[in-house]
Amino acid sequence: MQTNIILAGVGGQGILTIAAVIDLAALQSGLTIRQAEVHGMSQRGGAVQSHLRISDREIYSDLIAEGTANLILSVEPLEALRYLPFLATEGRIVTSTESFINMEGYPAIEEIINELHRTNQPVLVNAAELARKAGSPRTSNMVMLGAAASLTGIVPEKIESSIEQLFRAKGADIVAMNIRAFRTGEAFFHHQATVS
Amino acid sequence: MAWLFYIPFWHTERFVNHLEKTSSVSVFEKNLCMNKQLLLGAEAIALGALDAGISGVYAYPGTPSTEITEYIQKNSFLREQPLRSAWSANEKTAYEAALGMSYTGKRTLVCMKHVGLNVAADAFINSAITGVNGGLVVAVADDPSMHSSQNEQDSRVYGKFAMVPVVEPASQQELYDATRYAFDLSEAVLLPVMLRLTTRLAHSRAGVEGKAVRLQNPLNALYAPERFVLMPHNARRQYNNLLAMQERLEELSELSTLNRLIPGTGRTGVLAFGIAFNSVMEVRQAFSLDLPVLKIGHYPLPRKQIEALFNSCDTILIAEEGYPVYEELLRGYFDLQNGKCIKGRLDGALPRAGELNADSVALALGVTKQEVMAIPKIMVNRPPELCKGCGHRDLYEALNTVMSLHEQHHVFSDIGCYTLGALPPYNAIHTCVDMGASITMAKGAADGGLRPAVAVIGDSTFTHSGMTGLLDAINDRSPLTVIIADNDTTAMTGGQNSSANGSKLQAICLGLGIEKTHLRTIIPLKSHLAENIKVLSEEIAWDGVSVVIAVRECIETAARKKRNPAANL
């Protein structure tokens, strides 16, 4: 088993929280992990990505080779497209559809959606709305994680237990809200899979 | 005074015995503690150093090295024995303090980014001449591809220059193990040991297993003026000793587990340095290549192992994560390539600049890979920017207004978050070269006749190496205005304490000789814009040395303190 995941977003959107949850779940599933992230200058509102690799055998490179990512999980739709050369032919994109515009020349959302539809069965998630339904707009990252969970190769129970561990210090209510958001995302993915 | 010839040798023999013993010990330790922690490469060094019994860490923040010291600061209170870990003013003060701690017999870690070693180079090179007492490890994080740096210089060149052992691990676990090993090695050969890593490993997480904790060394200050007083008669002897050590250092490289052969029967072999090993192994595994790969992670080079690889192959790919330092050596000046076909960065088989990855290595090994999807044409860049609500934005708005009234509007600046003011929409600064260069370049420009001459520098960069430049300007009466953007922290690297803020900064400027009437303070807020423009205009128009301190806390740091009041301490 080997899963290569590219996490994408804009500095400050919290993709490292998603990474931390997957990392912990993989570690507790007895798997090998490498997760490369960006610190420093580009963290300030620039494009950021994290290469996350999970395997049941030794992983050599911290970076994912082009054409070998099983999943691009993006919290911003344009950012999902930035890493297309990494996507494997059968690889999937799971992305939030909410734009984050902090630069000149941001393309029309319709054009972005068109490009996303050129990839293999993209999962387009209105994360903000689903997060509000789950109880708080701040949980949209957990909605996104839920929507991508079945593509990570880790059982959802392990992911839920690492959400529980990572948010425990913030209280039972916060844990419950994030688990709810995660399950909302999961349900969305399964619903979409059934429809298509 | 030939004792230095003997003592290290005696030490190294014991050291080799020690290495043999540790291989059997580690199985026992594995059973004892199966607690894998998820750590960044930088943090693996920190844990390794804590477990190796350091008494202190000295560092100035710099991406990608910052997290080493931060981890020690956050975790040292859990340790039985206290240790020191506060930030130093710059890399030179850090290195010298580390050498002083080593002098007392204690183990010391000193950390910096690659360009930081330029600042500490004087101390580093000379500490190879004096040698050390307690283990001294200098962890240097290079940044190939310049993710957060102004160049991609290769610190292994410095290691070679200083003639000290260099270790360059390739995984997070190896970083942990090699850090501990480096302290033993340092005490065995009585030399500082460089631990070189690069961005990808520093900022990548993996499971790391710690081993038994070693206690700190007792106080055992070394009275050895014949080593530490580097007057010419001592320096010459010490330098000869260092030269005589080189053969022994090479023997230790041959024994090191950081250098090892992954056997293969192909006639093409790979010499893979540092984390280039990972890219090579990735390709070897993905395309089932039967290549012999010699992993290099300990310098000076293990000559015998390299010779053996050359003897068994016709073609050798040299993959270095950095400059083609050893490729150049192995090709030779006349590019005779040691009678083999050598491929690498110098013949274009691998790119000359930037980090290597599995894709570039696959190409160099002649593997054809499938076509990949292209980035759509609609893609636009998303450059980093100053945070919304950041005080630097308000400072630059005021400064741009003032400068637009002058015919010459050059602003010399420096390294920090405020460097982002070089980008649109502000385009407010026009130089950024090295730490502290804003003030000294503005001074030189003023001496050359430029009016006005303006410098923008952060609080932490000012104490790092801006103060001495300001003293030059004052002594020389070079007319310039220095704006210190005091956000109360070292923001770009994530908010570390800086050496001087607020009233302490004012006291430094006055102490250096700034006239009281030309030391002004402004608050970079929208509501103060008119007043800030007035103050900046007055000081920039004045024909002397003036300092304007723009005081407003970094919004990131302020928000963090609000979320976690304990962080105030």
Put simply, the answer to whether B417 touches A44 (Cβ < 8 Å) is yes
Put simply, the answer to whether A34 touches B205 (Cβ < 8 Å) is yes
* Domain regions of chain A by residue span: 2-195
**pLDDT tens digits, residue range B383-434?**
889 999 999 999 999 999 999 999 999 999 999 999 999 999 999 999 999 9
Q: Are B428 and B411 in contact (CB under 8 A)?
A: yes
**pLDDT, mean of residues A72-86:** 98
Quote the CA–CA distance of B109 and B127 in Å, as a whole number. 14
The answer on pLDDT for A4 being more than 50 is yes
The answer on pLDDT for B3 being more than 50 is no
Is the CB of A2 inside 8 Å of chain B's CB atoms? no
For B391-560, give the CATH class: alpha beta
Put simply, the answer to whether B286 touches A65 (Cβ < 8 Å) is yes
Query: Among A11, A87, A115, whose Cβ lies nearest the Cβ of B378?
Result: A115
**pLDDT, mean of residues A43-57:** 91
Name B337's Cβ contacts closer than 8 Å, sequence gap at least 6: B330, B331
For residue A109, give the chain B residue with the closest CA.
Answer: B378
Contacts of residue B361 in chain A, CB cutoff 8 Å?
Answer: none
Confidence of residue B564 (pLDDT cuts 50, 70, 90): confident
Contacts of residue A67 in chain B, CB cutoff 8 Å?
Answer: 369-373
**pLDDT tens digits, residue range B85-96?**
999 999 999 999
**pLDDT, mean of residues B98-106:** 98
The answer on pLDDT for B5 being more than 50 is no
Q: What is the DSSP string of B134-163?
A: S-EEEEEEE-TT-SSSS----HHHHHHHHT
The boundaries of every CATH 3.40.50.11610 domain in chain B are 260-364
Contacts of residue A42 in chain B, CB cutoff 8 Å?
Answer: 147-148, 384
CATH topology of domain B260-364: Rossmann fold (3.40.50)
Contacts of residue B285 in chain A, CB cutoff 8 Å?
Answer: 60
Q: Are B133 and B220 in contact (CB under 8 A)?
A: yes
Put simply, the answer to whether B492 touches A40 (Cβ < 8 Å) is yes
Which of B142, B378, B415, B427 would best serve as a mutation to test chain A binding (most A beta carbons within 10 A)?
Answer: B378
**pLDDT, mean of residues B67-78:** 95
Is the CB of A111 inside 8 Å of chain B's CB atoms? yes
**pLDDT, mean of residues B274-279:** 98
Tell me if the domain spanning A2-195 has CATH number 2.60.120.10.
no
The answer on pLDDT for A128 being more than 90 is yes
Strands B204-209 and A32-36: antiparallel
Confidence of residue B22 (pLDDT cuts 50, 70, 90): very low
Confidence of residue A12 (pLDDT cuts 50, 70, 90): confident
Put simply, the answer to whether A39 touches B417 (Cβ < 8 Å) is no
Contacts of residue B370 in chain A, CB cutoff 8 Å?
Answer: 67, 89
Computed over every residue of chain B, the mean pLDDT equals 93
The answer on pLDDT for B4 being more than 60 is no
Confidence of residue B58 (pLDDT cuts 50, 70, 90): very high
Put simply, the answer to whether B148 touches A81 (Cβ < 8 Å) is no
Is the CB of A103 inside 8 Å of chain B's CB atoms? yes
**Beta partners for residue B451, in sequence order:** none
**pLDDT, mean of residues A139-155:** 97
The answer on pLDDT for B569 being more than 50 is no
In this prediction, residue B368 carries a pLDDT of 85
Is the CB of A15 inside 8 Å of chain B's CB atoms? no
Confidence of residue B475 (pLDDT cuts 50, 70, 90): very high
In this prediction, residue B15 carries a pLDDT of 58
The answer on pLDDT for B473 being more than 90 is yes
The answer on pLDDT for B454 being more than 70 is yes
The answer on pLDDT for A164 being more than 70 is yes
% of chain A beyond a pLDDT of 70: 97
For residue A59, give the chain B residue with the closest CA.
Answer: B282
**pLDDT tens digits, residue range B199-230?**
999 999 999 999 999 999 999 999 999 999 99
**pLDDT tens digits, residue range B139-157?**
999 999 999 999 999 999 9
Q: Are A125 and A18 in contact (CB under 8 A)?
A: no
Quote the CA–CA distance of B331 and B324 in Å, as a whole number. 10
Strand order in the sheet with B54-59: B54-59, B107-113, B136-142, B193-198, B166-167, B298-299
CATH topology of domain B35-211+221-255: Rossmann fold (3.40.50)
Quote the CA–CA distance of B547 and B394 in Å, as a whole number. 18
The answer on pLDDT for B29 being more than 80 is no
Is the CB of A101 inside 8 Å of chain B's CB atoms? no
**Beta partners for residue A33, in sequence order:** A54
**pLDDT tens digits, residue range B500-513?**
988 999 999 999 99
Is the CB of A160 inside 8 Å of chain B's CB atoms? no
Strands A47-55 and A32-36: antiparallel
**pLDDT, mean of residues B366-383:** 93
Name B13's Cβ contacts closer than 8 Å, sequence gap at least 6: none
The answer on pLDDT for B23 being more than 70 is no
Put simply, the answer to whether A85 touches B375 (Cβ < 8 Å) is yes
Confidence of residue B16 (pLDDT cuts 50, 70, 90): low
Quote the CA–CA distance of B447 and B470 in Å, as a whole number. 14
In this prediction, residue B77 carries a pLDDT of 87
**Furthest-apart CA atoms within chain B: distance in Å:** 77
In this prediction, residue B248 carries a pLDDT of 97
Put simply, the answer to whether B492 touches A41 (Cβ < 8 Å) is yes
The answer on pLDDT for B21 being more than 60 is no
**pLDDT tens digits, residue range B517-559?**
999 999 999 999 999 999 999 999 999 999 999 999 999 899 8
